[in-house]
Every structure is written in C-alpha cells, then in structure tokens.
Structure 1
Amino acid sequence: MILIRHFPASAAIISVHVKSFHQSCPSSSTMASRLLSRYAHLLCRASSQAPGSAVASVSRLPMTVTPPVEVQRTEGWPQISKRFMHEKSSLATDDAVWDQTSFSKVNDLMKKATVPEDVLQAWVEHGGDANMAAISLVKWTQLVRKTKGDFKMDSRINEMLDTISAQVSKVWNYSLVSTLSSLWIIKIPRNDSRLLSIEQEVLWRVRKLTCKQLAFLVTSAADRKDQQVALILSTALKHLELRTTEIIDTKTVTDLFVKPHHLSPSLKQKVEDKALELAESFSAEEIRRILLSLGIQSRRNVPLLRALSYHLIQKPSSDFTPPLILDLAFAFGKLNFHHTQLFQRMVSELMPHVPQLRPSEVTRFAKSLTFLKWLNIPMYEALTEHFITNRAQYRSTEFCNLLMAFARLYFLPSNKDQFFTELHSLLDKSISDLHPLLRTDMVWSLCVLQQANPSYITPILEPQYVAKVLENDKSGAENYRLKLLHIATTLSLEHPGSSDLEPPSSLLTSSVLPTVSPMQSSLRESLQSLVGERTEALHTGVQTPYGWNIDGELLIDCDNKPINWPSGDDQSLPAGARRIAFIAWEFPNFGVKSKDLLGRFVMMRRHLQLSGYTLVEIPYYEFLELKTAWQKLAYLKDKMGKAVAEDMAK
C-alpha cells in the first residue's frame, strides 16, 4: 500500500495487471510471483524520479540513478536478476525432475554396491552426468582395492572417463579431487588426455578447494613420483600452509600426520599446533595414528604428547584394543615420553589379552617397555608365561629380543628355572645360525642375567669372529667392542679356569674418550678434598681392563686412611690395604620411578666386586641433595666407612 500511495501511476498499472492475472491464472501464488516481478521493473524506473521522502518511506534502501533507456536494479533489492522472478518456477521442468531422481537412484545403488561389477552395472543401466561418472569411478576404485582385484580398463570405465573429461568444469570439487586420486591409483598412462585435463582442472581450482580437500589431495599425491603430480602437490601444500587456521575437523589433521614427509617444517609445526587445539576432539584411533606418526618421525612435541595422553586416559576401555596399546607403547618408547598413569592403564587393559597375542607382538611390547626403562613385574611375568606356553611358535629373533628386554631391565622371572631351561633348549639349536651382531647381543644379555655358559662365550671371542662383528657395524663398533669386552670379563671372572682364551688386543683399545657429567665432575672435586694433600693416592676417570670406567680409585689402609699406590712393577697391595672404587650412579642408570639399577650396571657392579674392588656407590638422588662442600665430604667419608664395614662382614 505504501508503494501505491507514493506512485499513483504505477498503481493504475498494477490494478490492470491484477485483473488480467485473475482471469488468466487461477493460481494465486503464480499470479503473485508474476505481479511482483513485473512491478519490480516499474519500481526501479519510478524510483529515479520519486521524491526523497517517498523513497525513504518505502524501505530506506539506497537507489541508483538510472538512464531512462535501461531498467536498473536498486542496490537494496538483492534477489532481482536478469532472469525474471516468475521464470524461477520454470526451472523445475520434467527433465530436471527426472535427472534429480535418476541421480538419487544411481547414488543409492553406489552406496549399496559390494563388488566392482555392481558399480559398472548401475552405470550401464542408468548412466548420468560427469558428477555421477566421478562418483561411480571413485566407488569402483574403492571396491577393487577392497576386494584386491585388478584395475582392468574396459569400455564402461572409459565411458566414465570420457564423460568426466568432456564435462570436467561441472564436476564438484570433492568429486574432482577423489577422481584424480582414483586415476593415480588405477595408474592411468601419463600421456592420457583425460588424466591431463583433470589434473589441469584441479590446478585451476586449488584456490577454491577447502582445507579438507587440500589435505586429501596432499595425502593422495604424497607418494607419487611425477613432475605434474609434484606441481599439484607443491601448489596444494602452499595453499594449505596459508590456510591452516581454517582446519576445523580432526580427520584433516590426522590425514596430514599420516604422510608428513612432504610437509615443510613450518607446516608440520602448524599442523601440530592445530592438533593441540583439537586434542579433546580426537578419537582413540586418531590419537593412535598421530602418536604413531610422531614416533616414526622422532618428533618429540611434549605439549602435544601430554595433551593427547591426558585425553586418551578419559577414553572407555572398549577403545583400548591390543593393536592400539602396542602402537602407543612403540610411540612412547621411541619418543622416550613417560606418563605413568597412562602406562598403568595400558598394562591393565592389555593384561587379559596377553594369552591371545602373537610372539611378535609380545616381543614388540616388551621392547617398548624396555626403551621406556619401565619394569612392570606383573606384565613381564605374563610375557614369561606366554613364552613358556607358546615356545614352539617363537622364532629365534623373537625369543632373542625378549631375552634382551629382560636383560636391559634386569628382570628375573619368578619361574626363572623353567624359563631359562626352555630358552637354552631353543638356543642350542639356533645360536650358531644367528647373525653375528644378534648373537653378540644374545650372549651379552645372558651374561647380564648370569646365564651364559662358557660354550656360548668361547666361540665369539675368537679373533676372526671379533673382527667380523666390528666390521659389520662401523657406526656401533664402540658399543660392540665394549660388549665383547664385558663378555670376556664374564668368562675370566665368573668362570675362572674354564678357558685360557684371552680377549683380542683390538678389544682393549678405544679411541672414544668418555664424557664427564656435572655430577661426576662435582664428585671428583669432593674426592680431591677427601685425600687432601695426598693427591697421588687418588686416581680419577680410571678405565679398567674390564670395559668399565671408575670415577675415583683410592687405596686405603686398615684405618681407612689414604695411602700411596705401589710404584713400578710391584702391583701387590700392602697388608690390610683395600682398593676403593667410587661410582656415580646417575638418573639414566636406573629404571623409571625406581631405585633399581638397569641390567648393564648390575653387571658392572658384579664385575668390579669380583675384580677386588670395594665399591662406594653414589646415587644421584642422594648426592644432588648435598649443597656444600662440607656436606659432600662428610657424606663420602660415611659412605666409604659403611662400604668397608659391609665388605668385612662378607
């Protein structure tokens, strides 16, 4: 009514149209649509001549001044286009309704398809446009991979490709990216014009793709070695890095973690920051994939690890499946990340499933706990029972790795007699066939656990065998040199007289100088204060012929007073004298949350005691509490007196 009052000329025209529409169009909705569309043009023309007050009273919308020869729209009339409003209803023609119905029908058939032939049959019977062809091709590819079939190109597949290529500009973005990924999987020839057109279309549309589609494109192109694919990958990565803030779903983040090799360091950091932001929303499976990827890359992002661990603990028990627990243990072990509460949850959830685990899974889990230096006795007892029960299924590498895990943590099972009996029976059959490095590790582990027979030790101390071991692993030659020296020490100290074999001279020389930690440096300064002016009575940083280093070596008389070492070739000690060895036990020498030494250092203690030393052990959790030089000096005197008294009591 406001329009009619301010524009009387237009009102007369409207009344004429209304009468004619009532006679020709009984449908009121159709009449209203046509009336409004025709009157819009009159309004636009009249608005340029209408007074300002009238215009303001209509809708307060800004008007454009238009020439009389052309009808223009007002800026405030958003839905008026070159297509008249009454023409909108003409879009719903019979053909359009048929296409939509056909599309829905074919799409339903695709969802129900279980074998590749179902997809091809649906396409032959119903056909469709480029989008339907793209959906069909992607579904066919998925089913072929699922059924492990062959990607055989036939006329129906070629028809799909031709349809997509001919109407490639009309294919939806997600369907286009999925189609390109499928063509890479199918391995269409590089010079195929249809593949080239789809790749070019993707390049043109990169700016329009969502972050989810860009991530899918990156993960699909990550393993392809082709110049054109490399261009698509680099372009997608460039746009993805600029738009990481747009990522809102966990699947996109997880997919980027799965194939991170082509991500730049800055993009990796942005993806990890986004994962930290979305940590609460990840499912247990997504957390597993992220942690596994971090472990493989050795990327120790502590804030992200803490956040994912916290939210993982909140998950129900049904999410803690054995594969998930094994992968988590591997990732945490590789990253040396400790979360005791989560570890205890993992162990409690896995314990009922241990009897159903395969030997390879048992070994893998034991090694992961070993890397973490975390000894959970009930779990290791369960792993021991698994070995005893299923020993026939264990391969040589598997039971060797299980034994090495036990040796690192110095774990002796409660039924150790039965365990080692079964182990020795397997070793007698296979030890000669082991790789030299694995055989050395195996015998060294037996030495740690005091289960090495001379028959195991003697063959690997032969000069030819030693040379083979040191040549096989150049980077780890020093580590294996020490292990062979420890094995030789075990033979001479723990099995005296069993063999006259001397360790090769190559084991006694080392070009690697041991590093001195702050605790060792502080201990040596305190030892200098202990001996006072008799500095020649103290030796620091002693490298023994047994492969072990001593922080301080001191000779004392029967009154615990330092005395000078014998000079010249006379190595005999004065009557009543004792050799004191001061050893600093630091944090890495112990298990996590434990005051028990790891197996390597238990063997060191045993060897030094057998060689005639009285050990004064200085653990870090005691020594680092001492703040003054006077406290350290009094502590060392007290520890030395107790060590001598215990040695005399033995």
Structure 2
Amino acid sequence: MALITLRRNLCHLSDFRLHGALNTVKNQPVNHVHKVVKEHLCPWFCSLQAEPFRVRFHHACCKKFHSENGNDLHPFGESVYSQVHDWDSFEQNFKNMDEQMFYTRLNNFTSSEEVLSFISTLQTLPDTMAAGALQRICEVGIKDDDQRLSKEILENPIFQALCVQFEQEPSNLSNTSLVTALQALTLLSVDPQSSLLLNLVTECQHRLKRGGLEVHSLCVLAESLLKLQGPGCETLDLIIHQLQGEKLEEFTPEDIVALYRILQMCTEKVDQHQTFLNKINIFSLSIVSNLNPKLISQMLMALVVLDQTQALPLVIKLGKYVVRHIPHFTNQELGKVLEAFIYFGHHDRFFITALEQHVASLYLTLDPEVVSRVMEYCSRKHILSKPILNAVAETFVCHSEKFSPSQISELIEPFGKLNYLPPNASALFKKLEDLLFTHFNSFPPKTLLKLLHSCSLIECHPVNFMARIFSPYFLQQLQGEESYLDRLSLAQLTQLLLTSILECPFYKGPKLLPKYQVQSFLTPCCSLETPVDFQLYKSVMMGLIDLLGARLYFASKVLTPYYYTIDVEIKLDEEGFVLPFTFDEDVHKRVALCIDGPKRFCLNSKHLLGKEAIKQRHLRLLGYQVVQIPYYEIEMIKSRLELVEYLQRKLFSQNAGVHW
C-alpha cells in the first residue's frame, strides 16, 4: 500500500517508497505545482481565478520553514485552522490510528476545510485513506449545483499535493485507492481530457484488461466511467461482462445496489441484460434486510427506471422494510420510495399507518416535493387517509408560499378526487383563492383547469374563476399548439358548466360554447365516471328480472341528455306503475340505480370518490330518484331470494304507491 507522507521531515525515511504529498510539492517550484494542478483540473480550475496566484503552504509544521523562493509563508485560512493543535501533540505514527476511526471522523466533517485541516495533522496517510479524504473533500466542497470547488480549496497545498500524487504515480496505488480517486473527481466538472483523469482512467483500463479488479472496484469504475463518458463507453461492456461472471453471493449489499445503478444508466441495453437482471432480482430478496434507507430508495428507483414489473416479490419485500425505515429516510429518499410505490401500485396498511405517523409528526418541516408526492400516492391509490390529508391541509395554510403552481395542484386535487373536506376547509380554500387571484397567470392552463375542477367535486365551486376559464382566451391557451383540445379537458370544462347551471344558479357570467362540450362523461381512456363492475351488474340485473317480472322493465347503461351514463334506469308513471323502458310518454319519475363496485370508493372504505359523488348529486338535481346499490351490501346477500327482497326494499320502500 502506498503511503502519502504529509510531513516534510519524514519524506526521506527508507520505509516509504513513495515521496510524500507535501514532499512532492516541496521538491517542485511553487509555480510548477500551480501549473501541474491547473493543467490537470482545467478548465474548471482556471475559470475560478481572476488573476494568477502563488501557492502558499500552511501546514501544522510549515511555520518552521521558509518558502523556496525566499518569501515567508503566511497562514492560509487562519480561521479554519485555528482549531488545529500543535504538531508536537501528534508525534505518534498514523499506523497507530484505527482505520475505522479515521473514516468515522472523515464522515463527520461537513466542509472541505475541516477535512484538509484534519489530514494536515497526520504524519503519514495510506493511499486508500488519501483517496477517501479526496472523495470527502469533493463531496462536501461542491457549492450549490455548480459542481466546483471554491478557489480557496483549489489553492490549498494539501489538496494540490493529493492531486499531484495521484496523477504522477497511479500505478503504485491500490485498486481501491485508484477507483476511489477517480470516483471523487467525477463529482466535479473536471475536463475528461485532463491528464489527471486520463492517467487514472488509463491505469484502471490496464488493470481491467488484466482481470486485476475485484467486484467493488469494478462497480465503482463502471459508475465513474458512466459519469465521464456516458453509456456508450466501450469499457463499460467489458466491466459488465466481468461482473456477470462473478458469483452474486460474493457481492456486498452495496455492490448489488451499485449494479442496479449501473444498469439503470444503460436503459437502452436493458433487453440484452435482462437475464442478468432477473438473477439480481431473485438474489436481492436475500439481502433486503441488510439495506439501509439510502440503498432501499436507490434499489426501488432503479427498478422503476428499468421497468422491472416482473420483480414484484422484491418490491413487496422492500415495502415491508420501508415501513421500518420511514422515520430515517431523507425527504429525497422518501420521495423516491413513494414514486416507486406509485409506479408498481404497491400499498399495504402497515406502510400507510407508518406514513401517516411520519407526515403527521413532521408535516410543517417536510419538503414541498415530498408533500406533493405523498398526496399523489394517496390520490393514485385512492387512499383516504384523514391524518395525512389534514396535516397537508394545515401545511398549505401555513406555508403556501413554498409550493409551486404544479405542487399546489398536486396537493389540492386529491381532496376532490377522494371527496374529502379537512377540518380547516374554509381556511384552506380561502388561501387557495387568494393565491389564484394573485398568481392566476402563473398556473399552466391544464394544471389550473384540473385544480378548479377538483374543487368543484367537493362543492367548493370556483365561481370567481369560471368567467376566465370559459373565455376564448383561456381556451386558446389551453389548446396551445395542438390542433384541438384533449378529451379530458373538454370533459372537465363541460362538467364545470353543468355545475355552474345546477349548483351555482347565481352565476351569470359567460358559458362554455357548445363546440367545446362533450356528449358523454364516460369514455374509454379519460372518463369522469367509473364503468360499472360487470359481475356486480350481472347479479343485480338477475335480481331485477325476478323482481319486476321481465327484462323489459328496466334499461341498462343509459346515456342521459346531461352527459352522465346511468347503470340502470327505471321509468314510473304518475300513479307509480313501472313502465317498459321503451316508453317515452307519460313518464312521471325516473329512478337511477347506481351499482357501485369497489372502484367507485376510496380504498378499503365506504366513502365514494369525488367523481361518483358529484354524479349522484347532479342526477338528484336533475330530478332523478337516485338509488345506490353498493357492492358491500350485495356481498352480504347469500341467496337469490334475499337479493330480490333487498332490491324491493331499495326501490320501493320510499314509494308506497309504486306497482309492478
């Protein structure tokens, strides 16, 4: 193992074959060191400098020396290094420091300055740990999304010494040090053609062709090359081929997840690697219990990107362990987990309970993206979770300014879809109305339409905005560059028009033009109604035939003039007699049977979805006698005779004058 010597007076010890990092710097003119690092890390290094600068060393022992050009050395970053003890207190050799302790301390640092300060106190540094230090410097030193280190870090002699050492003697590095150093530099916007990276990559390729890299190094190298050269990298195929030849039992859980990440970045090659993926999916079942929250979220996300719908047993098992880790996920990791569960359609009551507890306890501190993802999950799976919905409603009232227009829509829509008004509904929709008045034009047209339509489902009618959305200008914006408006938008506009007529008779503004109105809310792809459950419909139809005496006395799937489709319609004359469905004259009352299967309710509940609630509400306002036949009542019936008696009670108990 190569040792990077960090103290000048140890550079010539016979025990160390490699010159130390600072020794390397010491034996070169200052301008040369600056030139080497500048050349290796260009162009991003150069762009940080307004003018040439001179390297000035500051080290725990450097104050005792003079610079080679005769100038005094001045402390660099005095405030940062003020906590560094005198070197005399660190006379023990680095070998006496436990390796685990080193990495523990390294991972506790939150800035590059802290890392540099720490390693500057060490006597010697093994190359593996030097690579780990370089990686930590890059991880914590990147500012914002710029992927650049600050000028102060780049000018630091310790950082420069590390770069020079790795560039000059890559052949003397261990496999771990080599790939770790390469991985560290890929975190930055380093020129792929820089000599530093080229030397490291060349040495990696040389060892790869010799078959000298173990599993972990192969995984790290593959991810680094993907970042540097993309999925078209020729070396990548050789790495994957070598990984396929290894026994999965010898992979650590971290390496298995790394395999998923590698294949995730090569989606265009998924088909040719599917057999290998199937083996990984099966083997991964045995390591799920050893995964931490970060690895679980990464594995789930990779399964989504790779479209591994056949790996549902793995998703289900991951879901069980997600429940245990929910309090420990970062916002970003939890968002990935929810996205994966939405994709695979996974849910269970234990996960929902844990999610409720997490959201309810941290709702005021959750990231807006996570809040919108939680609401999307509830919406997609029709999960009526009152603790989550109440907490999110309170979050929006308190921190509405944190949410973008799309996030606001994702947050509000589930209330309409799940047909639920939270306890603070008045404050919630008042806040929403104020935001819409202020930022109406900031909302994309389709997002705005979905948002307002969702409000109407739960009788929070957007009367103050109907004139705007029915206007030709908004409809033109809604259409955009397309030659026509999509079917769903037209259906939502039509239902809002019907709402304005039936539930808001005081609205006297513009109406939706007939050419924008649909003829039916029930369509194959983008329906505002849920199709009737066939098996449930078949059972009810047989009972009606026994009750009414013939199929002639009721009609099925009737499209009304008001765009809704009725599951079963029964016509009554003025005296209450049931008429054949072919009769259109002397019809005094129409009975609409809503045969509601499980898909018309929220998950595992007896609570109607918003689109079914508004349908029944509108049918009543249109004069229909609505009779609901829910699946959970039919399931309790054990015989055909019981079914007939049940239908008789449902249809005629409130109409004593009805005859058949």
After TM superposition, the score normalised by the length of structure 1 is: 0.70
- Do 1:403 and 1:442's aligned partners in 2 also have CA atoms closer than 8 Å? yes
Alignment of 1:164-243 (within 5 A): 168-185=170-187, 189-190=191-192, 195-196=197-198, 198-206=200-208, 207-225=211-229, 230-243=233-246
By percentage of residues, which structure has more helix? 1
**Structure 2 vs 1, CA of residues 135 and 305 (structure 1 numbering), >3 Å: closer, same or farther?**
same
Pairwise CA distance, 1:192: 5.5
Aligned residue among 352, 356, 375 for 2:384 = 375
- Do 1:258 and 1:293's aligned partners in 2 also have CA atoms closer than 8 Å? yes
Partners in 1 of 2:348 and 2:140 — Cα distance? 38
**Structure 2 vs 1, CA of residues 154 and 357 (structure 1 numbering), >3 Å: closer, same or farther?**
closer
Partners in 2 of 1:615 and 1:240 — Cα distance? 64
Percent identity at matched positions?
A: 18
Counterpart residue type for residue 592 of structure 2 = A
1:606 corresponding residue in structure 2: 617
Give the stretch that moved more between structures: 507-516 or 583-592. Answer: 507-516
Partners in 2 of 1:117 and 1:322 — Cα distance? 26
Counterpart residue type for residue 419 of structure 2 = Y
Give the stretch that moved more between structures: 628-637 or 540-549. Answer: 628-637
2:571 corresponding residue in structure 1: 555
**DSSP-derived class of the 2:459 partner:** coil
Structure 2 residue 314 is matched with structure 1 residue 304:
yes
**DSSP-derived class of the 1:583 partner:** strand
- Structure 2 gaps of 5+ residues are 1-11, 22-92, 143-148, 526-530
- Do 1:250 and 1:282's aligned partners in 2 also have CA atoms closer than 8 Å? yes
Partners in 1 of 2:233 and 2:411 — Cα distance? 44
Number of equivalenced pairs? 544
- Do 1:488 and 1:503's aligned partners in 2 also have CA atoms closer than 8 Å? no
**Structure 2 vs 1, CA of residues 623 and 476 (structure 1 numbering), >3 Å: closer, same or farther?**
farther
Structure 2 residue 528 is matched with structure 1 residue 519:
no
Pairwise CA distance, 1:231: 1.4
Partners in 2 of 1:485 and 1:121 — Cα distance? 67
Partners in 2 of 1:615 and 1:225 — Cα distance? 64
- Do 1:531 and 1:538's aligned partners in 2 also have CA atoms closer than 8 Å? no
**Structure 2 vs 1, CA of residues 213 and 587 (structure 1 numbering), >3 Å: closer, same or farther?**
farther
- Do 1:119 and 1:136's aligned partners in 2 also have CA atoms closer than 8 Å? no
Alignment of 1:208-357 (within 5 A): 208-225=212-229, 230-243=233-246, 245-258=248-261, 260-262=264-266, 264-294=273-303, 299-300=308-309, 301-314=311-324, 319=328, 327-357=336-366
Deviations 1:29-66 (A, max 9, x none): xxxxxxxxxxxxxxxxxxxxxxxxxxxxxxxxxxxxxx
**Structure 2 vs 1, CA of residues 307 and 646 (structure 1 numbering), >3 Å: closer, same or farther?**
farther
- Do 2:129 and 2:177's aligned partners in 1 also have CA atoms closer than 8 Å? yes
Partners in 2 of 1:479 and 1:249 — Cα distance? 49
- Do 2:566 and 2:593's aligned partners in 1 also have CA atoms closer than 8 Å? yes
Alignment of 1:438-453 (within 5 A): 438-453=447-462
CA RMSD after TM alignment: 4.5
User: Which protein has greater RCO, CA pairs closer than 8 Å, 6+ apart?
Assistant: 2
Partners in 2 of 1:215 and 1:199 — Cα distance? 14
Pairwise CA distance, 1:529: 3.5
- Do 1:137 and 1:157's aligned partners in 2 also have CA atoms closer than 8 Å? no
**Structure 2 vs 1, CA of residues 358 and 555 (structure 1 numbering), >3 Å: closer, same or farther?**
same
Pairwise CA distance, 1:624: 5.6
**DSSP-derived class of the 2:229 partner:** coil
Structure 2 residue 413 is matched with structure 1 residue 410:
no
Pairwise CA distance, 1:282: 1.8
Deviations 1:473-506 (A, max 9, x none): 8999222222111111101211236337354223
**Structure 2 vs 1, CA of residues 218 and 105 (structure 1 numbering), >3 Å: closer, same or farther?**
same
**Structure 2 vs 1, CA of residues 552 and 245 (structure 1 numbering), >3 Å: closer, same or farther?**
same
Counterpart residue type for residue 242 of structure 2 = H
Counterpart residue type for residue 246 of structure 1 = E
**Structure 2 vs 1, CA of residues 195 and 611 (structure 1 numbering), >3 Å: closer, same or farther?**
same
**Structure 2 vs 1, CA of residues 319 and 497 (structure 1 numbering), >3 Å: closer, same or farther?**
closer
